[in-house]
Amino acid sequence: MSHSDIYTHFHPDEKSFVDRAWEWVERAAEQHELRRTDFLDPRQAHILYTLANRHPDVAIRLEGGYEGAERVRALIAPDYRPLEDEDAGIVVLDISSDDRRQAELDHGDYLGALLGLGIKRDKIGDIHAGEDGCHVLIAEEIGDFLRTHLRQVHRLETTAGVLPLDRLRIVPVKLEEMAISVASMRLDGIASDVLRVSRAKIMDPIRAGRCRVNFKPVEDPSAQLHEGDIVSFKGFGRFRVLEAGGVSKSGRIRLRIGKYV
């Protein structure tokens, strides 16, 4: 398959990742390599899975540490090599504190502390922040470093330990629900209402490539959203279109939105 054939299916911004992913697939097929990737977001996982499934001689397994994980590592190998028992190299980082204010820490606080130590985002999987601590899925190769060096999260003293996957404490994602009515399913109109930013102001981040729909870059303010779509804006947060529930007498579309908190 030529590279030009591959690129037609993906956004231009995704070209560098598509190149890398296709190289992994080809090396598995032609050089009989087993590769374990870093953590991928759902869009990257979709791209890699799509490419692997186009190659008849390649097998792929996606693993995030628990069922329903958003961020996953991929195992790619020649199709004759069984992947079920291969180790995905994921462990649990247990972050705790004696300070009762830990209950106020959120996903962003923990992620910021990890990135502040120089850890790359692709070594970090899903983050489960609860009132009594946080469990983070991480690549096993950074476990010792974090156990030694992670001593503070958002100015609170913390301790870190490494646990096996069967000790993972899952914290369900919290969505703050809201009901809005919109004239159309355009991205800019819905995002403006949900994020409480003027329509003029929401245009700039969209056109600047700071918006993703289902983890795919979208730069067209008039792009149409659909039920189930996840929309994220750098610096503004993200939300999901939970339900499109009919049309009002004035012709406006009623939506139920869930904002990630």
Query: Residue 33 maps to which CATH number?
Result: 3.30.1370.160
**Is 83 inside a domain boundary?**
no
What is the number of structural domains in the chain?
3
Mean pLDDT of the 43-55 span: 93
Last residue of a domain, one of 35, 52, 78: 78
**Is 247 inside a domain boundary?**
yes
Q: Let me know whether 96 and 72 are in one domain.
A: no
Mean pLDDT of the 22-32 span: 94
pLDDT of 235 > 90? The answer is no
Q: Let me know whether 143 and 185 are in one domain.
A: no
In which domain, by residue range, is 61 found?
3-78
pLDDT of 9 > 80? The answer is no
Sign for the CA dihedral angle at 221, 222, 223, 228 comes to positive
The pLDDT tens digits of the residues spanning 101-111 come to 888 898 889 99
Q: In the structure, what pLDDT confidence band is assigned to residue 123 with cuts at 50, 70 and 90?
A: very high
Distance CA 198, CA 215 (A): 23
Last residue of a domain, one of 149, 167, 185: 167
Identify which has the larger pLDDT, 245 or 208: 208
Mean pLDDT of the 76-81 span: 94
DSSP string spanning 69-106?
-SSBEEEEEETTS--TTS---EEEEEEE-S-GGGGG--
Q: Let me know whether 98 and 122 are in one domain.
A: yes
CATH number at residue 180: 3.10.290.10
Q: Let me know whether 188 and 220 are in one domain.
A: yes
Distance CA 167, CA 162 (A): 10
E strand or H helix at 255, and its extent? strand 253-260
Rg (CA), the chain: 21
Mean pLDDT of the 122-133 span: 94
> Token digits for 91?
């462990």
Q: Let me know whether 150 and 207 are in one domain.
A: no
Q: To the nearest whole number, what is the mean pLDDT of the chain?
A: 93
Phi and psi at residue 201, to the nearest 5°: -75, -25
Q: Let me know whether 199 and 247 are in one domain.
A: yes
**Is 84 inside a domain boundary?**
no
Comparing CA positions, the residue from 70, 61, 58, 56 lying closest to residue 24 is 58
Q: Tell me the C-alpha to C-alpha distance, in Å, between residue 56 and each of 45, 64, 74, 199.
A: 18, 25, 17, 47
> Token digits for 45?
């996982």
The pLDDT tens digits of the residues spanning 10-21 come to 878 889 999 999
pLDDT of 4 > 60? The answer is no
pLDDT of 7 > 80? The answer is no
Tell me if 133 sits within 8 A of 94, measured CB to CB.
yes
Q: Tell me the C-alpha to C-alpha distance, in Å, between residue 82 and each of 48, 60, 163, 182.
A: 18, 9, 26, 50
Last residue of a domain, one of 78, 113, 131: 78
**Is 14 inside a domain boundary?**
yes
Distance CA 153, CA 52 (A): 39
Give the Cα-Cα-Cα angle 83, 89, 90 (nearest 5 degrees).
Answer: 115
Q: In the structure, what pLDDT confidence band is assigned to residue 3 with cuts at 50, 70 and 90?
A: low
The neighbouring-strand residues paired with 180 are 255
The neighbouring-strand residues paired with 51 are none
Please name the residues in contact with 108: beta carbons below 8 A apart, sequence gap of 6 or more: none
Amino acid 1: pLDDT? 52
Q: What is the pTM of this model?
A: 0.83
The pLDDT tens digits of the residues spanning 140-185 come to 999 999 999 999 999 999 999 999 999 999 998 889 999 999 999 9
Distance CA 157, CA 176 (A): 29
**Is 7 inside a domain boundary?**
yes
pLDDT of 49 > 80? The answer is yes
Q: In the structure, what pLDDT confidence band is assigned to residue 248 with cuts at 50, 70 and 90?
A: confident
User: In a 3-state reduction of DSSP, which class is residue 59?
Assistant: strand
